[in-house]
Amino acid sequence: VQLQASGGGLVQAGGSLRLSCTASGRTFDNYGNNYGMGWFRQAPEKGREFVAAITWKGGVDKYADSVKGRATISRDTAKNTGYLQMNSLRPEDSAVYYCAVGLLNAEHENLYAYWGQGTLVTVSS
């Protein structure tokens, strides 16, 4: 299984970005039907933190408080692609964003077995 994240870049504060993550290879057999896609981020000198997640079958989403109301996670099951739309971006949103596939819409990174390579988001003030 491979996850390819894209869509990062440099944006001014208040702007928007849409991150994409496409899965290829075998289906996520580890989880049967109970898998989902999550987005995490890691800023310099900080640990990786949960941003948002969505169950793949039912589309049930979950967000970190820091992005609630500014982020929307979605998925296109036909394309095996997940998305993270980020609006009203702030300098503190600057980080490497990682997509991952794991158990349902879990918040804990330990519940994700498959990870993408990360895409850098830089928000200028």
Q: What is the 3-state secondary structure (H, E, C) of 41-89?
A: EECCCCCEEEEEEEECCCCCEEECCCCCCCEEEEEECCCCEEEEEECCC
Question: Taking 80 as the threshold, does the pLDDT of residue 32 lie above it?
Answer: no
Contacts of 43 (CB under 8 A, 6+ apart): 92, 94, 95, 96
Residue with tokens 């993408």: 116
How far is 21 from 101, CA to CA, in rounded Å?
Answer: 10
Question: Taking 80 as the threshold, does the pLDDT of residue 75 lie above it?
Answer: yes
How far is 124 from 121, CA to CA, in rounded Å?
Answer: 10
- Give residue-wise pLDDT tens across range 37-57: 999 999 999 999 999 999 999
Q: What is the per-residue pLDDT for 31?
A: 67
Residue with tokens 């994240």: 5
Q: What is the per-residue pLDDT for 25?
A: 78
Two structure tokens written together for 101: 């596939």
Q: What is the per-residue pLDDT for 33?
A: 78
User: Are 2 and 115 in contact, with CB atoms under 8 Å apart?
Assistant: no
**DSSP structure class, residue 101:** E
Long-range contacts of 62-67 (CB under 8 A, 24+ apart): 62/105, 62/107, 64/107, 66/92, 67/93
Question: Taking 70 as the threshold, does the pLDDT of residue 104 lie above it?
Answer: yes
Mean pLDDT of the chain: 93
The rounded percent of the chain whose pLDDT value lies above 90 is: 85
Q: Which amino acid is at 99?
A: C
